[in-house]
Amino acid sequence: MTSSTAAKIGLSTASVYPESTASGFELASRLGYDGVEVMVGIDPLSTQIDAIKRLVEYHQLPVLAIHAPCLLITQRVWGTDPWGKLERSAEAAKELGADVVVVHPPFRWQRDYARGFVEGIARLEAETGVIFAVENMYPWRAPGKGLQAYAPSWDPTEQTYAHTTLDLSHSSTAEQDCVELAATMGASLTHIHLTDGTGSAKDEHLVPGRGTQRAADLLQGLAAGDFRGHIIIEINTRRAASRSEREVDLIESLEFTRKHFARTDDAPRRSAFAVTSDGEVSELNP
């Protein structure tokens, strides 16, 4: 696992899209998250390490992880060489004090990259001292068939990665059970993208507890097993009609995580905010 301290609950900056990386830090700080995972590439500011450092200093909130720019829409962020992207991600992680880089397996058409991916990830970890946690993906589902878009596999348990990331929306889309997948990942499970899904072919990234994945069971099992990695809320709030509606989803996600990832010796923690019956966010008295 990543450290000898208790697991931290962080917010992915992707969770506030289309708001900015700066908004991600502001919301994470104000709503009581322990830190931030920076999704590189969706917002140009996310590629500017000096700007991220200023956000860290201003909000007094650490960067827990860097999500490498390996989405289809970030194929040209930090160049087009996939290994160069990962090297820059490791450099960013070290500069910002993060200990994890989240990376997706290669797309099947990235043949040279995919051919040496497993060995290359091990080499990068050894050379940089940064954890590269390879994320579970899913087959792209089309009517009557599935497209194997990732190589060497969309399922990281089929390879020999030292560190893995479990994303519950991806396990939902792949029609896997997140608790069973976590057990299969075993000691390699280092990082969680906490979210949810209903088994749809779409990668839904729902608020945890609103889908059919066993998110509560997973968190309770992780707590019982003394999980010491990072738990990152990575939800889709693009359809939020207002900042207040987005905050409701972020608060609900954080409260869900704290409720179910609670060890018996944990002191109870209360959010600084509550959601009223009419869906508004109110600040609690300290």
- Assign 3-class secondary structure to 224-241: HCCCCCEEEECCCCCCCC
Looking at the structure of the chain, the number of domains it has is 1
In the prediction, which pLDDT does 140 show?
A: 85
Do 125 and 115 contact (CB within 8 A), yes or no? no
Q: In whole angstroms, what is the distance from residue 232 CA to residue 12 CA? A: 6
Q: How many CB atoms lie within 10 A of CB 281?
A: 17
In the prediction, which pLDDT does 148 show?
A: 80
In a domain, 265, yes or no: yes
Instruction: Answer left, alpha or beta for residue 175, where phi above 0 means left and psi between -120 and 50 means alpha.
Output: left
In a domain, 3, yes or no: no
Residues in a beta bridge with 131 = 100
In a domain, 2, yes or no: no
In a domain, 1, yes or no: no
CATH number at residue 193: 3.20.20.150
> Mind listing the pLDDT tens digit for each residue in 194-241?
999 999 999 999 999 999 999 999 999 999 999 999 999 999 999 999
- Give SS3 for 283: strand
In the prediction, which pLDDT does 73 show?
A: 84
pLDDT by position in tens, the chain (length 286): 444 458 999 999 999 999 999 999 999 999 999 999 999 998 999 999 999 999 999 999 999 999 999 988 888 898 899 999 999 999 999 999 999 999 999 999 999 999 999 999 999 999 999 999 999 999 987 665 667 899 999 999 999 999 999 999 999 999 999 999 999 999 999 999 999 999 999 999 999 999 999 999 999 999 999 999 999 999 999 999 999 999 999 999 999 999 999 865 554 454 444 445 555 545 544 4
| Exposure of 147 in the CB half-sphere (CA atoms within 13 A) | 9
In the prediction, which pLDDT does 254 show?
A: 98
Structure tokens that stand for 80 in this block: 């087009």
In the prediction, which pLDDT does 237 show?
A: 98
In the prediction, which pLDDT does 145 show?
A: 63
Torsion angle (degrees, nearest 10) of CA 43, 46, 47, 48: 120
In a domain, 115, yes or no: yes
**Domain extent for 144:** 8-283
Q: What angle do CA 71, 237, 154 make, to 5 degrees?
A: 30
Question: How far lies 248's CA from each of 18, 205, 235, in Å?
Answer: 16, 15, 12
> Mind listing the pLDDT tens digit for each residue in 103-138?
999 999 999 999 999 999 999 999 999 999 999 999
In a domain, 31, yes or no: yes
pTM of structure: 0.90
Instruction: Supply the DSSP symbol for 46.
Output: G
